[in-house]
Amino acid sequence: MTAELGRLDAFPRVRLGHGPTPLEQMANLAAQTGGGRLYVKRDDCTGLAFGGNKVRQLEFYLGEAESRNADTVLITGAVQSNFVRTAAAAAAKLGMDCHIQLEERVPDTDAQYRTSGNVLLDKLFGATLHSYPDGEDETGADRRLGEIAANLEAQGRRPYIVPLAPGHKPLGALGYVIAAREIAKQLAADDIVIDEIVVASGSGHTHAGLLFGLRALGHDVPVTGICVRRDTTAQQARIADRCREIADLLDIRSPVADGDIRLIDDFLAPGYGQLNPPTMDAIAAAARAEGLILDPVYTGKVMAGFLQRTRQRGKEGSLLFIHTGGAPALFAYGERVLPA
Ligand SMILES: Cc1ncc(COP(=O)(O)O)c(C=O)c1O
């Protein structure tokens, strides 16, 4: 383990994902957008249950769950959450029960949204589903999950909660500290120099973990987070907090300066889980140029931001898109994702 990453090795971790994930060039997309050299880190290929970034994060949460001898995992998220779907699959694989709480974060949903995509998979993996009426109440959602856990405990179960609200150890971010090391190794092996990395910024575990890992390993490449849930002001504070918490976990000084936290919220409107024309165009562009499957909630918006950054950097630019998965949600949105 790399000394710069402090106590990373000391955390319990279960291997759930396939890795290292490929790092590929997107020559067609570059040709079609007039960009320079464009690359994609294929974390949609982490393997378990359609893959995605949450596989890396869950390796640490479920490592802790196993170390505590838990027999039931509890997690909360949006109705079409990839995190809860991946947790349900991981719990099944590890022989644990899974309780999922689905929050109403997206307005005006239809039957397809409520039954297809990730919801269908949650049921297929045998999870017990609960619903929470508010989508903007992280603390309340965590509290309700705590009540479900207390009930299970009273019945003799050993529950483990994957927490949502800030104020908990950001164990999931450690998965992206590891990803940072993997990316740095791949870039060095292939002699690739990157001018900018573009990544989703939601709970912030992926963004903060990646940024922290790269800086700790001595890489100063700009990392631009694309806001998918909150505006830049709220997200800036969130990423700064996560970075401080990662430093505490690893027991090293944070190598991240405030100026390192770069964010764009141009593609957030009209809100979390809601489409806009640049996102639909970006989803279609990636599919048609590279055969990549993006999603309407996260990676489609990130690709819209990536294409904006590509245009701004021009022919000389060399940019890396972190593909964090999310494909099942595409089916829950259906034809609404297609550009007009
Ligand atoms: C496909 C996908 N990409 C990106 C993200 C954002 O990652 P994070 O919550 O670590 O910011 C999520 C979060 O659920 C996701 O499901």
Segment 120-132 shows an average pLDDT of: 97
Indicate whether this model's pTM tops 0.75: yes
Q: Do residues 161 and 133 lie in contact, with contact meaning Cβ atoms separated by under 8 Å? A: no
For residue 298, report the distance from its CA to the centre of ligand 1, in Å. Answer: 6
Segment 51-63 shows an average pLDDT of: 98
Indicate the CATH number for domain 67-162: 3.40.50.1100
Bridge partners, 168 (sequence order): 166
Q: What is the 3-state secondary structure (H, E, C) of 35-100?
A: CCEEEEEEHHHCCHHHCCHHHHHHHHHHHHHHHCCCCEEEEEEECCCHHHHHHHHHHHHHCCEEEE
Q: List pLDDT tens digits, range 175-217.
A: 999 999 999 999 999 999 999 999 999 999 999 999 999 999 9
pLDDT of residue 138: 86
Q: Do residues 183 and 109 lie in contact, with contact meaning Cβ atoms separated by under 8 Å? A: no
Taking the CA of residue 78 as reference, the ligand 1 atom at the shortest distance is 14
**pLDDT more than 70, % of the chain:** 99
Average pLDDT of every residue of the chain: 96
pLDDT surpasses 80 at 3? no
Per-residue pLDDT band at 2 (split at 50, 70, 90): low
Lining ligand 1 with CB less than 6 A are 52-54, 82-83, 200-207, 295, 298-299, 324-326
pLDDT of residue 194: 98
pLDDT surpasses 60 at 1? no
CATH class given for the domain over 3-52+171-337: alpha beta
pLDDT of residue 324: 98
138 versus 311: the higher-pLDDT residue is 311
Q: Which of 158-172, 182-196, 282-296, 313-327 has the lowest mean pLDDT?
A: 158-172
Q: Where are the beta strands (DSSP E) in 134-281?
A: 159-162, 196-201, 223-227, 262-264
Distance separating alpha carbons of residues 281 and 136, to the nearest angstrom: 28
Alpha carbon 264 to chain centroid distance?
16
Taking the CA of residue 325 as reference, the ligand 1 atom at the shortest distance is 1
The residues annotated with a catalytic role in the active site are: 81
For residue 67, report the distance from its CA to the centre of ligand 1, in Å. Answer: 25
Q: Please, where in the chain does CATH 3.40.50.1100 lie?
A: 3-52+171-337, 67-162
pLDDT surpasses 90 at 13? yes
pLDDT of residue 329: 97
**Which of 55, 79, 82 maximizes ligand 1 atoms within 8 Å of its Cβ, making it the mutation to test the pocket?**
82
pLDDT of residue 35: 81
What count of Cα atoms within 13 Å lies in the side-chain half-sphere of residue 199?
30
Segment 263-272 shows an average pLDDT of: 97
Tokens of 314: 């021009």
pLDDT of residue 139: 87
Give the CA distances from residue 159 to residues 97, 109, 146, 327, in Å, rounded to whole numbers and listed in that order. 9, 31, 9, 29
Please enumerate in sequence order all residues whose Cβ is within 8 A of that of 207, keeping only pairs 6 or more positions apart, or say none. 176, 199, 200, 201, 223, 225, 239, 242
- For ligand 1, atom 3: residue with the closest CA: 324
For residue 13, report the distance from its CA to the centre of ligand 1, in Å. Answer: 20
Distance separating alpha carbons of residues 234 and 202, to the nearest angstrom: 11
Residue 227 backbone phi and psi in degrees, to 5? -70, 130
Maximum distance among all alpha carbons in the chain?
Answer: 62
Segment 275-297 shows an average pLDDT of: 98
